[in-house]
Amino acid sequence: MTSTSHTTSEQSMTPTIATDQEDAVMRRTQRTKKRGRQINWLALIVLEGLFLLLLSYSTARAETGLLGLRGRTLGGPFTFSDEMVHQGWRIQKHAVIGHHRLIDPNNERRARGSFEHCMEEFQKLKVAENIPPMPKDVVVVLHGLGAFRQYMEPLSDYLRQEGGLTVVNVGYPSTMADIGEHAKTLTNVIKNFEGVETVSFVAHSMGNIVIRHCLNDLAGLPPSEQPEITYKRFVMIAPPNHGAVVTERLNENGLGRIAQLVVGDAVDQLNPEKGWPTLEPRLATPDFEFGIIVGGQGDDKGYLDALPGDDDMLLSVATSKLVGASDFAQVQGVHQTLPKQDQVQSYALRFLQTGAFMPSGRRNPLAEEDVELAR
């Protein structure tokens, strides 16, 4: 009896031992795959950054080679910030040299020197070339980190063609200064609007943080210096409203310094464990209507294991949410391509026109209890 019982006991234990071993192997396999995905993802970010650095360098060399008084330029991607925009005419400032230039809608240089000199020349050209005044209502469009204004042109064209809106697509050297400096650039653009009474915004990724910083800066100006402008609506596309956990992961994997060299100080500023606690108090929550569009897979896993919950392959959905949003919508897609998606463009236009993303007008506002932080 004892022998039979012992044998039966061993037989009954065998499947359990096998199952435990299989589970252990499966867990190791899953961890290996997860680490592999994280490493591939981080490597992709670094490679993309290096590509942007090379592109920025080659663009800067091309622009530097065109410093004559008159001549076609590249429009200033990566190295120039817009300081004044009027019907396609721009006064831009070089991020390194510090000089200003005036370019026309065809990106041809018409003057260079100080901002005051370029503005004086522009005022003469307004009369000589019959440049029309700005309309009363405009939409400012802003790109994110590592991009340039041409990246937002498909969205800008959609807003113009389908909505009849006047779009001011602003460029800034996103990898060559910190977010505060970019906000000063946008503040100058807004202060230099002539005849504009109402401004709305559409931005992607870090561009949203630049706008929030700009709004805070404008609110802090003395009343005599504040532009007489009403801010109407703001469409945030994939905004890192609570920082970007991805920047922490870069540091954990020893890639933080490389990322900072490639894409600038903003990497540290968006890091919840480093610069974000200092940056966040300088960001205004808009006191006018704003809506948020995010990407992702629409589940609780997302594309990347390194990010909590659903994500757009760069930011978690949770970190984009902001209390006070009058509408919130999610589409399926990844971070970098969201501004070019038809659905996102349609949502953006509808919100600018009606204050809601959906054709029915139904809204999904975000209250305190709806905002789940990524941390």
Domain contains 157: yes
Is there a domain that residue 191 lies in? yes
Cα–Cα distance, 276 to 280 (Å, whole number):
6
pLDDT: which is higher, 178 or 24: 178
What domain range includes position 309? 134-368
Mean pLDDT over 285-294 rounds to 98
State how beta strands 230-237 and 198-204 pair: parallel
Residue 19 confidence (pLDDT) above 70: no
**Domain assignment present for 154:** yes
pTM for this one?
0.82
pLDDT in the model for residue 162: 98
User: What is the number of structural domains in the chain?
Assistant: 1
Spatial separation of the C-alpha atoms in residues 141 and 290, rounded to whole Å: 14
**Residue indicated by tokens 């929030």:** 212
Please, are residues 99 and 79 in contact by the beta-carbon 8 Å criterion? no
Q: Tell whether 56 is covered by a domain.
A: no
Confidence check: pLDDT of 232 > 90: yes
Within-domain flag for 42: no
For residue 128, give both structure tokens. Answer: 């000589």
Please give the pLDDT value at position 8: 44
pLDDT of residue 245: 85
Give me the pLDDT at residue 237, please.
Answer: 98
Does some domain include residue 171?
Answer: yes
- Residue 192 in any domain: the answer is yes
For residue 139, give the CATH number of its domain: 3.40.50.1820
Task: Tell me what the mean pLDDT of segment 364-368 comes to.
Answer: 94
Query: What is the pLDDT, as a whole number, of residue 248?
Result: 64
Average pLDDT over residues 23-38: 47
Backbone torsions φ then ψ of 329, nearest 5 degrees: -140, 145
For residue 58, the model assigns a pLDDT of: 46
Is the pLDDT reported for residue 39 higher than 60? no
Instruction: Classify residue 249: in a domain, yes or no.
Output: yes
Q: Is the pLDDT reported for residue 10 higher than 80?
A: no
Residue linked to tokens 């992709």: 44
Q: Which residue, among 207, 306, 320, 186, has the nearest Cα to 266 in the 3D structure? A: 207
Report helix, strand or coil for 12.
helix
What is the reported pLDDT for 347?
A: 98
Q: What pLDDT, in 10s, does the model give residues 312-351?
A: 999 999 999 999 999 999 999 999 999 999 999 999 999 9
Q: What's the pLDDT at 266?
A: 86
Measured between alpha carbons, how far is 195 from 163 in angstroms, rounded to an integer? 21
Range with the poorest average pLDDT among 13-22, 119-128, 202-211: 13-22
